[in-house]
Amino acid sequence: MQKFGGTSVGDVDRIKAVGDHIARTVRHGNQVVAVVSAMGKTTDDLLRLANDVSSTHPGRELDMLLTSGERISMALLCMALADLGVPAVSFTGSQAGIITDTDHTKAKIVEMRPDRLLEALSEGRVPVVAGFQGVSLEKDVTTLGRGGSDTTAVALAAALGADFCEIYTDVSGVFSADPRVVAEAHKIHKISFEEMLELAASGGRVLALRSVEFARNFGVPIHVRSSFTWEPGTWVQEEDETMEQAVVSAISHDVTEVKVTITGVPDRPGIAAKVFREIADRGINVDMIVQNTSIDGFTDISFTVPKDDKAACLEVTRAVSAEIGAREAYADSGIGRVSLIGAGMKTHPGVTAMMFEILAKEGINIEMISTSAIRISCVVRQDDVENAVRALHEAFEL
Ligand code: ADP
Ligand code: ASP
Ligand code: MG
């Protein structure tokens, strides 16, 4: 399984280079299935077009539009392969048998029926699959959420029993921080599914979260590597004794969320349940939650949600607020999140204290905190995010 991201198929020369690489892999005696993203910034351009045309984007139509990007890449790559004498055949997500639920723009895969891919493979052809898309149980075209081509690739790797899944991108692997923010970040040679899950969930864009969940659940090793240098990259796999248990392995950041606050919430059993039930029923994922101590029976609740869900979330939150007698609900778009990830944190106290001290030394105020066994996240002002990442990277000597 070889997946090529947007930059990797960004122009004609890149598509030819990818074709060359697949041809070489085939000539080494491998059966290859390729998954492609839309060329360069195509998906962003299509979204801009949608915004220019209308402020209402019915999910079904948005998915029709967005899936066209990947169709272009798959057809062009097959033509490039034909030129190289490698028989290839393109498939949309639907043709590849990727069945999803009906949740447009962030559909979940519910079933894989890759019969046509198996047939192509048995005929000695290279299936080239459009990433990021599937077909719903109601037979409509769906997309899997931004970055979803990674999920297509890993899910297909699992369904086809591939030995591993190669994710080709524009960096040479998974780094100790986003190399675009920290120039000194180093490449991690091996990382466990658990650490990668936390990294992907907290903004480490290099792999889509859902793809790592699939990889862990089905035991598919992922090799993240560069389609520019083709050098060996990072293996994401089951934890083993050859992995160093660093206290802190990586620092991630995320500026794609907003903070929603409800003030004057009556502090009674069942109120938080009601608020978050209504939000969940709208299909909105809540991330961090903070509730203040109650004063005179009223409290404030803050939580973070994806920027894309801001309007929908405010709508429901304001409606529930009125119902439960809360004062007001508002959103703050100027936040960002910085996270430390490391399996060794489990057995090393003091990491949280050190993180807070480093942020304090930089004069960075912490607005929200959340932790898991192997991650600490702080919400700070968006303008402070890059500074925070650099300071933490240096202080933890990554
Ligand atoms: P693709 O189009 O190939 O899917 P993405 O843009 O989705 O590529 O993901 C690759 C980008 O992820 C890199 O260019 C890099 O800026 C970013 N990134 C964020 N965190 C990390 C990290 N820890 N290691 C490597 N890359 C990272
Ligand atoms: N083209 C889609 C996006 O830009 C899917 C992907 O690249 O993984 O989000
Ligand atoms: Mg991506």
Q: Which two tokens stand for residue 169?
A: 């991108």
What does the block give as tokens for 25?
Answer: 């892999």
The response to whether residue 149 sits with its C-beta less than 6 Å from ligand 2 reads yes
CATH number, residue 279: 3.30.2130.10
Per-residue model confidence (pLDDT) at position 95: 98
Residue nearest to atom 4 of ligand 2 (CA): 43
> In whole numbers, what is the pLDDT of the chain averaged over residues?
96
Q: Is the CB of 148 under 6 A from ligand 2?
A: yes
How many domains are contained in the chain?
2
Of 90-94, 125-129, 248-252, 270-274, the one with minimum mean pLDDT is 270-274
Residues 237 and 365 both lie in one domain: no
Q: How far is the CA of 171 from the centre of ligand 1 (A)?
A: 7
**Percent of the chain, pLDDT > 70?**
100
Same domain, 152 and 257: no
| Interatomic CA distance for residues 269 and 193, integer angstroms | 37
Pocket of ligand 1 (CB under 6 A): 5-8, 37, 147, 169-171, 174-175, 177-180, 204-206, 250
Indicate the SS3 state at residue 365. coil
| Centre of ligand 1 from the C-alpha of residue 183, in Å | 14
Where residue 68 sits, what CATH number does that domain have? 3.40.1160.10
Q: Is the pTM of this model over 0.75?
A: yes
Name the residues around ion ligand 3, CB cutoff 5 A: 147
Contacts of 326 (CB under 8 A, 6+ apart): 262, 263, 264, 265, 266, 320
Same domain, 227 and 251: no
Based on the domain organization, do 79 and 104 belong to the same domain?
A: yes
Its domain, for residue 372, covers 244-398
Q: What angle do CA 221, 226, 228 make, to 5 degrees?
A: 155
Shortest-distance ligand to the CA of residue 73: 2
pLDDT in tens, 3-40: 999 999 999 999 999 999 999 999 999 999 999 999 99
Reported confidence tier of residue 243, pLDDT bands at 50, 70, 90: confident
pLDDT digits 0-9 by tens, 93-125 = 999 999 999 999 999 999 999 999 999 999 999
